[in-house]
Amino acid sequence: MKKLLLVTLVLSLSGAQVMKADDKERKNNRREADSAAEARAQQGGPAKPAVRPQVRQPQQQQSQRRMVPTQRTISRVSRTVVPSQRSAVRSEAQLEGRNRVQPSNQPVTQNRSGNRNVNRGANRNFNPNSFYVARGNVIRTPHNRNWWHSNYNTTFVLFGGGYYYWWNNYWYPAYGYSPYYNTYLYSEPIYGYDNLAPGQVIENVQLALRDEGYYRGAIDGLIGPQTRAALGAYQQDHGLVITEAIDEPTLVTLGLA
């Protein structure tokens, strides 16, 4: 019995010593792990800054990004439009196939544009009131085609929406000549020369007034407000009766007739 108790006591002491050794070993291992962790923390340097989340740019800022030009966009930018070349309006002298020549024995006048030109009709006699005489000859009562041809054996032309007839160096409106073309944009007589139609006479007058610096409108062969104003200014500057119409004194002074 005593031997059994002695053996039991020895075994219990041995077990206690083993448990104490195991506990000491665990403490040592924990202490070593803590020391190693502390050493690693000291060797790691300053802590890295926290990464800020990327903020999405507003839509307006994104639209201002510079676009990389492509071949298509470059071709659009580099393409240029060649303006169409308009031919210059020919002067009255060029229309008739002749050049203006300045004779030495003719008086010279100064126009508004500063160019010097010849008053080729300075020595020609004309009635300064010839336009008012021609206006008094206008037949305002409409008549049909047969009546006009039976009373005026002359030339009739369509101009400005109605027919005009040639008589005594003027083109006169022939009211009622045609039931289809009976609109007269200009109902006054038009002085003519060189067997030219009324529209061609007006174009030549517009060109001559443009060369003199009085007219800046279109060369359209129609007598409108700009053409009448240019005629009136030219007549006033040259001492003519201001009719604002194409009459004999004006065409002679312009050197056309």
Q: How far is CA 135 from the centre of its chain?
A: 43
Given a contact cutoff of 8 angstroms between Cβ atoms, the answer to whether 243 and 130 are in contact is no
Mean pLDDT of 109-133: 61
pLDDT (tens digit, 9 = 90+) per residue, 22-31? 666 777 777 7
Distance CA 165, CA 177 (A): 10
Mean pLDDT of the chain: 73
Residue 34 has pLDDT above 50, yes or no: yes
| Residues near 177 by beta carbon (within 8 Å), at least 6 away in sequence | 143, 144, 145, 148, 156, 162, 163, 165
How does residue 16 score in pLDDT terms, banded at 50, 70 and 90? low
Give the pLDDT confidence score for residue 78 in this predicted structure.
Answer: 39
* Selection from 67-71, 106-110, 115-119, 212-216 with the highest mean pLDDT: 212-216
Mean pLDDT of 123-134: 84
Q: Which of 131, 135, 130, 118 is nearest to 253 (CA)?
A: 118
Q: How far is CA 76 from the centre of its chain?
A: 20
Strands 116-118 and 156-159: unpaired
Distance CA 191, CA 36 (A): 123
Least confident window among 64-78, 124-138, 230-244? 64-78
User: Which residues are paired to 172 by β-bridges?
Assistant: 165
The angle subtended at Cα 69 by Cα 67 and Cα 71, nearest 5°, is: 150
pLDDT (tens digit, 9 = 90+) per residue, 169-226? 999 999 999 999 999 888 899 999 999 999 999 999 999 999 999 999 999 999 999 9
* Percent of the chain topping pLDDT 70: 54
* Selection from 88-97, 103-112, 163-172 with the highest mean pLDDT: 163-172
Residue 88 has pLDDT above 50, yes or no: no
Tally of CB atoms within 10 A around 2 = 6
Tokens matching residue 185: 């944009």
Mean pLDDT of 97-124: 40
Give, for 171, the enclosing helix (H) or strand (E): strand 170-173
| Residues near 240 by beta carbon (within 8 Å), at least 6 away in sequence | 128, 234, 249, 250, 253
Residue 132 has pLDDT above 90, yes or no: yes
